[in-house]
């Protein structure tokens, strides 16, 4: 039986999301990511950076987001 040689780390995260209005009056999403194993907290203002952080901590490729179409 063949063994799977692709290994990733298990990682647990807690995320907090909220809307914040900047000094120009533009409302945007903000994220706080907490990596449970290390206790590290980071703040983000875009999803790509959140996914990069998750991938780095999980020692894996970033999760891929499906394309979303709005009508």
pLDDT at residue 37, as a whole number:
93
Query: 20 in a domain, yes or no?
Result: yes
pLDDT per residue rounded down to tens, the chain (71 residues): 455 555 666 889 999 999 999 889 999 999 999 999 999 999 999 988 999 999 999 888 877 777 778 77
Query: 34 in a domain, yes or no?
Result: yes
pLDDT at residue 27, as a whole number:
95
DSSP string, 1-57: -PPP--------EEEEEEEEE-TTS-EEEEEEEEETTTTEEEEESSHHHHHHHHHHH
Plot region of 59 (φ>0 → left; ψ -120 to 50 → alpha; else → beta): left
Query: 8 in a domain, yes or no?
Result: no
CA atoms within 13 A of residue 19's CA, in its CB half-sphere: 4
Query: 64 in a domain, yes or no?
Result: no
pLDDT at residue 67, as a whole number:
78
CA distances from 55 to 21, 23, 43 (A): 28, 31, 15
Query: 3 in a domain, yes or no?
Result: no
Instruction: Determine the structural domain holding residue 49 and report its residue range.
Output: 13-58
Domain count, the chain: 1
């Amino acid at each position: 039986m063949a063994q799977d040689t692709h290994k990733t780390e298990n990682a647990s995260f807690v995320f907090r999301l909220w809307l914040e209005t900047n000094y120009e009056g533009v409302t945007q999403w903000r994220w706080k990511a907490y990596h449970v194993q290390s206790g590290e907290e980071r703040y983000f203002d875009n999803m790509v950076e959140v996914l990069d952080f998750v991938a780095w901590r999980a020692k894996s490729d970033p999760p891929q987001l499906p394309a979303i179409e709005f009508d």
